[in-house]
Chain A
Amino acid sequence: MRGEELLEFVKGQFEKLEANALDIGLKAVSRDGLVIFISFIAKNTSKEYLMKCTYHDDDRDPVVGVSFVNPQNPKESGNQFWPSDKRTAIKNTNNPPFVCIPGVYEYHFIHHQGAPVLRQHLSLDNTVSDIIGLISK
């Protein structure tokens, strides 16, 4: 998905996420074009994280790219800003780190190319709550 069509899609995903932010346990959400920042505090560690969700303007399905950045300075990235999870779906020691679950761009188009993109994988709300669920266990 490209251009205006993609931007409209991202706006829709952002609005849905914003509406459900409290239920999912998000502290704040913001959008800058195709990039959405999601701030939350992991309930089990009380540590704050900033998830950077990036949509790619390409011909692929609009699956969101996920990374974690410095909550105090979103321009700063690095493994130290990534959370961990018991199932090790979050590959926080890889270079670069990535989240290895369906619904994430790096899963479908880099590490598991050819994995089918299903309808639920296009829902940012669903992908974010999947990631929060992994971290909170």
Chain B
Amino acid sequence: MGNEIEVIEDQSIELFESEQTKKDPNKDKKKVLKLHVRTIDAEKTFRFRENETIHFVKITAMGKFGIDLSQEGQYFLLYDGRTLVDSKTLEQEGIPDKATLRLKNEPQVGCNAR
């Protein structure tokens, strides 16, 4: 019973697919992950296929949080103490289902020299 409820909840969350994935005839073989993305003061839940890149996840989340995409170079995703690499996929970065990723902007560094 508990599982049934969870599936219904999962399906209510939008599945975001990159253009590349949409064109992939084998995309249905890729596992769908439910991911929580958290900023300093908000959290949203998304679904992505495991073959999506970290960059796609990042810009999708930025858009949903209303963050200007022109600043995407200043943002990164953090998971389990690791900065995720934009060019890698969720699968390559070992992101499990229901993981919480942190969307962070690069902190301003105060002093330029030691």
Which A positions have Cβ atoms within 8 angstroms of B?
20, 22-26, 40-44, 87-89, 91, 93-94, 100-103, 107, 111-112, 115, 120, 123, 126, 129-130, 132-134, 136-137
Which B positions have Cβ atoms within 8 angstroms of A?
38, 40-41, 76, 78-83, 99-102, 104, 106-111, 113-114
Indicate which residue in B41, B81, B100, B109 contacts A132 across the interface (CB closer than 8 Å): B81
Residues on the B chain within 8 Å of A133, using CB:
76, 78, 83, 102, 104, 107
Known contacts A126-B40, A130-B104, A133-B104; A25/B81 CB under 8 A: yes
Q: Are B80 and A102 in contact (CB under 8 A)?
A: no
Complex formed: what's the CA distance from A19 to B82 in Å? 18
Q: Are B110 and A43 in contact (CB under 8 A)?
A: no
Residues on the A chain within 8 Å of B76, using CB:
133
Write the nearest CB–CB distance from A38 to chain B, whole angstroms. 11
Tell me the nearest residue of chain A to B77, going by C-beta. Answer: A133
